[in-house]
Structure 1
Amino acid sequence: MTVKLDFEECLKDSPRFRAEIEVVQNDVSELETRLEKLVKQCQAMLEAGRVYCQTSKSFVNGLRELGQQCSGEKTMEECLDKFSKKLSIILDAQGEVIETTQKTVKTKLQNFVKEDVRRFKEVRKEFERGSECLEAALVRNVQAPRGKPHEVEEASNALLNARRTFRSEALDYVLEINVIEAKKKTDILMAMLSLMEAQAQLFQHGHQSLSEMDEYRRKLNEEHTQFVLNSAREKRDMEQRHAAIKKKDVSYDDSIMDFKPDAANGIAMEGYLYKRASNAFKTWSRRWFSIQKNQLVYQKKFKEQPTAVVEDLRLCTVKPSSENERRFCFEVVSPSKSCLLQADSERQQQAWISAVQNSIASAFQEHREDTHSPRQRCSSVSASNLIGGGGGGEQENKVCKALEEIQAIPGNKQCCDCGEPGPDWASINLGITLCIVCSGIHRSLGVHFSKVRSLTLDSWEPELIKLMCELGNSVINRIYEARIDEITIKKPHPTSPRGDKESWIRSKYVEKKFIQKLPETGRTALQRRNRALTQERNTQRPPLKPKPNRATLPRLPAMSPTDVVQKNNTNKDVEEEEEDLSGLHPGALLYRSAALQNFPVMADALAHGADVNWVNMAEESSTPLIQAVSANALAACEFLLQNGANVNQADSNGRGPLHHATILGHTGLVCLFLKRGADYNARDKKQKDPISIAVDTANADIVTLLRIAKMNKEMREMDGAFGQSGDETYQDIFRDFSHMASNNPEKLKRRSADPKS
């Protein structure tokens, strides 16, 4: 509390004045104590801040060095570089705040204590000394005897001087009190204001600096989410491959020996062998041997330069050696020297002898030998590997039969890109089969171009099998190789180098050099080609199972879901002319063909750059996926989803594919969308979510699917991103519905009442 003293009051020197003086003195004394403590705390804070800044700068340098070490990972390098730069800027600003605090707070308060409070104490001492002198003069004055005039006069003069001095010092003291009270306000407030402004600038600067990274942080968060999903998927794939490899009959003490004369890295064969030294001691040493560049070489460590045993395999021969006491020995003999080697087993010995002999023969030939070995077919793969769970022999036979039908599609018995017979791999978004070499190249393109799976090792869901049976190599090549006769690039064959195959595949699917161009005057050719693709699909390849009659949908006018149900439920065969698609751009073409379930035309539209999420503003912002839902086209929906369709994209009524499938009672599509990540909590403009819609339509199957999916998601969230995939009951139910939707859709037919939404 501020004490204000009046100058007139100090002249009276009343008890009130003395009491106010005492209050002021106590306040100043307490203020001095608190300010000294605050200055010490400020000093400690500044020292800790400097240490923090220094340590933080070391941390930022560590981030920068980590980013340099991760130069091969573009995302990590960019993230660490951007973040370290922003942190460095913020730390520099924090250093400026520390210096500002040093100047404005610590120095100000320290000067107030050392100068103003010290001056106040000096003036107080003078006041107290004057007060004591006045008190003594008063006592002396009253004690002067009346009969001694000179003592009375002397006492009176002394009292007059003492009173004059005291009043002067009292006035000075009161002035100093008022001054220090006023300065206390100004100095402390100024110090706090400077500190607040410095802190505000620091946080504003930091906020502005980090706000510049908002877009990048959102993008990075999306990439991180995708990385987590990819990691979980890759972990699952690795576990499946691990389980499949463990089932193979490979003895514990015998390494897998494969001779690959056309290996991408140029190493035809490699493995450990014992080599006998040529010195007097004839010691044996274990070394890593390899056959490469027509040479037999070995090395002790990976980074060592390989040592050649035979410079040119054409000048040597190889034979088993039984003269040595050791087993599994063989000898490589050249004109200049002989090298005795030992394998770990008889099988390895024979494999190495055969590999060296084949390499010697290959060195004399101008072309590589075709060393394709018979590949394992789906008959040797268990049902658990194929369909991800139980089902027994009957289920396995069904899946194997379906995979055989995939390979029986026209063109599927040879690799789509190089023609190698018996392909064991497939691109599920393109609907083609591939050899192992071309599948590796497709995998390197990225999943936005091609999603690769093994026909024998990976899990195959029934809707994927159904999708694969809708297309095939012949149909896709008719699209992506439409202009192959007009260009000079030669299509690779099975024995072509990997580089030639990679160049061809990139030109075909990434650059799309061979597809039919679409000039403004040439859309009739597109129409003719689309009709030819459709006819080829219908005449050359029967579908996996007979399809129910469906009417061609001309122009596909905007219809409500209820209208579509009524139209699909009529028993009359509607015979109308085929729609003229020649004037449509790729997005509209994909939209129309999705409702027609015309897979070749859909693939053609995507090849010509159609947006898989194209929106038809004239028809309630409907998308190709919603059109496929209206036609209850399970395989068409799967095709669009595999090619990047957004399973949650809503129309102008706020209804996504899951809403429409629920309204129409398409249980198989509901199952598919839930497996593909559809949001069962999404609400339309009438605040209806799929579960409430299913309850309104009294569709027990769909209600069960939606509720089980919700429970399963809650279980996965409890387990974490890498936890279990949920309850086994969920897996079994969804697997049963998937098989039923693909193989026996008539069993899923439910009467769907008109929604009241």
Structure 2
Amino acid sequence: MTVKLDFEECLKDSPRFRAAIEDVEGDVNELETRLEKLVKQCNSMLEAGRTYCQHSKSFVNGLRELGHHCSEDKTMGVSRINTHLETLVSLGIELIEATQKSVRMKLQSFVKDDVKRFKDVRKEFERSSETLETALGRNAQAPRGKQHEVEEASLALLNARRIFRSEALDYVLQINVIESRKKTEILMAMLSLMEAQALFFQQGHQSLTELEEYRRQLSDEHTQLVLNSAREKRDMEQRHAAIKKKDVSYDDLIMDFSPDAPNGIVMEGYLYKRASNAFKTWSRRWFSIQKNQLVYQKKYKEQPTVVVEDLRLCTVKPCAEQDRRFCFEVVSPSKSCLLQADSERQQQGWMSAVQNSIASAFQERREDTLSPRERCSSVSAGSVNLVGGEQSNSGCKALEEVQAIPGNGHCCDCGEPAPDWASINLGITLCITCSGIHRSLGVHFSKVRSLTLDSWEPELIKLMCELGNTAINRIYEARIDEITIKKPHPSSPRQDKESWIRSKYVEKKFIHKLPETGRAPPLRRSSARRNRATTQEKPGTRPVLKPKPSRATLPRLTGLNPSEIMKNSFDSHKDDEDEEDLSGLHPGALLYRSAALQHFPVMADALAHGADVNWVNVAEDSRTPLIQAATVNSLAACEFLLQNGANVNQADSIGRGPLHHATILGHTGLVCLFLKRGADYNAKDIHQKDPITIAVDSANADIVTLLRIAKMNKEMREMDGFAQSGDETYHDIFRDFSQMASHNPEKLKRRSADIKIP
């Protein structure tokens, strides 16, 4: 049996799915009309048959009476004819009863039960579809500044989408079931009727003999169809139950970026589009990226409307000035198109898809003879006209600095030369094919960015320069010689590359297995560390940590394992600390220790072995690795932890988060970084002091300026009509501080005597 509709397609609720639904409903309506007509014709035939049988009985009785009258005449032979006719009349009555059971009752039951059940499920589907459409509109219209309305609209949308997905799955199941049953029921009715006719026409055996083989064939086919239908129905019900158990109320599961899709559509889904007329109305349309173009359509069969003719001539950026959430803008030389997604994840997915499509469009037109520097220059020339050249200049700088790291001149996974893509949370460079595969893994595994097309903050460039392909491959390919899987090369098929990347980063088949000693309980706080923690609370003092090693002594060039590296790093503190066995550190503790020492390869090794990036050291005031990195003023280490999911607002046991510690210690660059990553400047510690109060008490004008600008910017954005005001200044100031923190940190230093720790 061929499945009429697929369960996965109904989750997208695309115009293609809606068109298929309309076709199915039309088929069912036509089938119902024809079956009702057939049932009426069958009733007329049965009534005529009963009349025929009644008259036949009268005729047979007349013959019997005639036979009694002519019983003495042996030549008449009426009795034998009468017996034969009685048999024929009996067979006729049986034929009518069989027709009643096999045709009329079965078809009538199919119309009343199965078709009625189909219509009931369809009504529930249509009702849930209308509810979802209303919830989507309400969610899209929820103002950014009214949080209670946003929460109500989001909750209503969540419930409506869950109900709709459930009803859609039930509807598709019912469609497939009725498609299967109509074949078996109609065929069964016809087969039963043919068997009754065969019994009735015994005197016409010669004519029925020609249909005997055909009847057997239909009988065998019917038996096989019943078996296949039962098996497929069971499989569909199991799949239906499995999918229904999943949480399909969110759209994350159906976000699908496929650069190698056979139909040429690399991304598709619903977006709201703002009209360019004076009313600025928003309409929900089905968008898709295909043939290096961004197009949309309202109905499946209508001609798509082209938004961007050539993706190489456009750029995409988030649009925070709008009152509506999740907006982004696709800008081309001739026009701009303002779009809105249903969630932040969808917004990021669409923006990434457009960026990847832009990169693919350039890649297809790029000459193989161009060097990376020449490719960067050609892309910069096209980008200057759109975004003023700032983004492309940062991309060129990122390309030059990151590719200069040993090992980064070739793709980390397949070895293709001159890669111009990167994974910022892993710190590696990638070719365009491997970058697409990394993007499909999800941002919780790899965050992909272009070295030439995207903007690069200084702290991100510093982070990329601290790691590199050589260091990461030492971790993720540590056991490659022990496994028979062959590493792909540049000309390997995409399927081989995807299998390798998933085995390497998702399944982590090639890393060193964690020994039992690496599962030891959390570290005990040593007396020397307790003394330093007490000293740290005094104004003007900071914890003593070993300086960050130079690149020549980084662990990735030593060949030591993480435990040996950490042991060597702590040798200088043996006089100050109790003896502590670091070889037994579990990944969370290892990440905690290495964050304070700014050992990036060891941090990456700890994360690869499953370290919780928000691991809490209860023995040291419940501090986290991010707080440890903040105390030593490591901008790149903090950025590395944040890119790997660290919580910027997680506080220690005295209520101080990373922003508190950066403010207390006067690390202006870190304050700027944490504010950009969403740190809460209103959070209070156990002394009821927030970072603004601490900065004012410390007389740190730079930090006070940053905190107050961030607060003012948020307040202005929450006021109607002031969303635009303050945004450019806010971003300019934070950009200047970021540049200074990365390139001229000495300008942000203060005297320790000026620091007042509450």
Structure with bigger gyration radius: 1
TM-score by length of 1: 0.47
Q: Which has the higher contact order (CA 8 A, sep 6+)?
A: 2
TM-score by length of 2: 0.47
